[in-house]
């Protein structure tokens, strides 16, 4: 873990300075929300020479469902993150943060299933979570884009769980316990989960509670394990929202930004996006 964090470079010490640096350097800040094509019923995406067809729900996206429907379409940040995870420059496997046997929990998975499709075959367990409305389509997209899950004759070497998790309503510790995740999450992933002020506190809290569950397990006399790592990918839109998120996140986490050199040339169109790494204080 120390080698991985050292590779990332200096730890972020000032949220305001980090916000200024990112937003002043990016010349391609998007004026739209960041959806790939919200009106299409399906979109085709290529990542590392692998083709994915993602089914969307424009009708659900435009509905007035209480609690929002932003997860019903493919967001550009999820493509950016998936490309990085497949990139030869991604240090997560090189530095053994992830390996065969690891468990990854994704917050706000939406309907695309891209990160699950990319990561799951390389680890042992991928847990995709979101509000219940997104899960059926998420499952369909994962099933269609991870062919080995459909091969009944072959014993799978990994599993993908698709579970409902509402940050504002659910008891996170009970969720983790009921799904045998209390001490097992190696990495928390989130892509474009912060796009307004109202989500910041609950998002930071759920990240912290997941990471604290492993700390509590170690304190209970279990075998000491590496801390759970948070990977947060975002599109740069509103500097005020970003800065408030980072301030709250830094209260509970030590934070680093993944430098452009570690994003790799495979991550096309990376301007206007960023990835931060958090480790519980």
Tell me the per-residue pLDDT of 232-250, one tens digit each, with 9 for 90 and over.
999 998 999 999 999 999 9
Q: Rounded CA gap, 225 and 42, in Å? A: 41
SS (H, E, C) the chain: CHHHHHHHCCCCCCHHHHHHHHHHHCCCCCCCCCECCCCCCEEEEEECCEEEEEECCHHHHCCCCCCCCHHHCCEHHHHHHHHHHHCCCCHHHHCCCCCCCCEEEEECCCCCCHHHHHHHHHCCEEEEEECHHHHHHHHHHHHHHCHHHHCCCCCCCCEEEEEECCCCCCCHHHHHHHCCCCCCCCEEEEECCCCCHHHHHHHHHHHHHHHHHHHHHHHCCCCCCCCCEEEEEEECCCHHHHHHHHHHHHHHEEEEECCHHHHCCCCCCCCCEEEEEEEEC
pTM of whole model > 0.85?
Answer: yes
Q: Residue 57: its pLDDT value, please?
A: 83
pLDDT at residue number 244: 98
pLDDT in tens, the chain (281 residues): 999 999 999 999 999 999 999 998 765 555 556 787 878 899 999 998 899 999 988 777 666 555 555 657 788 999 999 999 998 889 999 999 999 999 999 999 999 999 999 999 999 999 999 999 899 999 999 999 986 654 454 667 899 999 999 998 999 999 999 999 998 999 999 999 998 899 999 999 999 999 999 876 666 555 678 999 999 999 998 999 999 999 999 999 999 999 988 987 655 555 789 999 999 99
- Report the sign of the C-alpha dihedral through residues 197, 202, 207, 211, in that order: positive
Residues written for the chain: 281
The per-residue pLDDT for 166 is 94
Two tokens, residue 165: 């998790």
CB atoms within 10 A of CB 175: 21
Contact 4, 91 (CB under 8 A): yes
Span between the terminal Cα atoms of the chain, in Å:
14
| Predicted local distance difference test score (pLDDT) of residue 155 | 66
Distance separating alpha carbons of residues 174 and 163, to the nearest angstrom: 13
The distance from CA 142 to its chain's CA centroid, rounded to whole angstroms, is: 16
Per-residue confidence (pLDDT) for residue 28, from 0 to 100:
54
What is the per-residue pLDDT across 204-220, written as a single tens digit (0 to 9) for each? Answer: 999 999 999 987 666 65
Q: What is the pLDDT of residue 14?
A: 98
Q: What is the dotted CATH code of the domain comprising 2-280? A: 3.40.50.150
For residue 223, with 0-12 CB atoms within 10 Å meaning exposed, 13-18 middle and 19 or more buried, which class applies? Answer: exposed
Euclidean distance between CA atoms 194 and 277, whole angstroms: 15
Handedness of CA 115, 112, 34, 279 (dihedral sign): negative
Q: Are 142 and 116 in contact (CB under 8 A)?
A: yes
């Amino acid at each position: 873990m120390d080698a991985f964090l050292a590779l990332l470079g200096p730890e972020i010490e000032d949220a305001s300075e980090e916000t200024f640096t990112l937003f002043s350097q990016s010349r391609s800040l998007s004026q739209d929300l960041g959806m790939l094509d919200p009106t299409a019923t399906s979109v085709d995406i290529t990542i590392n020479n692998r083709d994915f067809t993602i089914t969307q729900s424009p009708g659900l996206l435009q509905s007035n469902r209480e609690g929002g429907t932003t997860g019903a379409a493919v967001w550009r940040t999820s493509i950016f993150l998936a490309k990085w995870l497949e990139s030869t420059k991604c240090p997560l496997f090189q530095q053994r943060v992830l390996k065969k046997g690891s468990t990854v929990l994704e917050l706000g998975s939406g309907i695309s299933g891209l990160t699950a499709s990319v990561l799951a075959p390389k680890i042992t367990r991928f847990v995709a979570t979101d509000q219940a409305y997104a899960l059926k389509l998420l499952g369909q997209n994962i099933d269609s884009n991870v062919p080995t899950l459909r091969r009944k004759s072959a014993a799978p070497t990994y599993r993908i769980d698709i579970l409902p998790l509402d940050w504002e309503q659910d008891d996170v510790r009970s969720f983790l316990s009921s799904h045998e995740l209390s001490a097992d999450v190696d990495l928390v992933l989130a892509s474009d989960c912060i796009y307004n002020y109202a989500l910041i506190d609950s998002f930071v809290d759920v990240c912290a509670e997941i990471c604290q569950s492993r700390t509590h397990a170690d304190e209970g006399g279990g075998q000491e394990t590496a801390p759970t790592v948070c990977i947060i990918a975002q599109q740069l839109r509103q500097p005020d929202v970003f800065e408030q998120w980072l301030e709250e996140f830094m209260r509970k986490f030590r934070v680093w930004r993944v430098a452009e050199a570690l994003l790799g040339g495979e991550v096309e169109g990376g301007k206007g996006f960023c990835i931060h790494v958090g480790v519980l204080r």
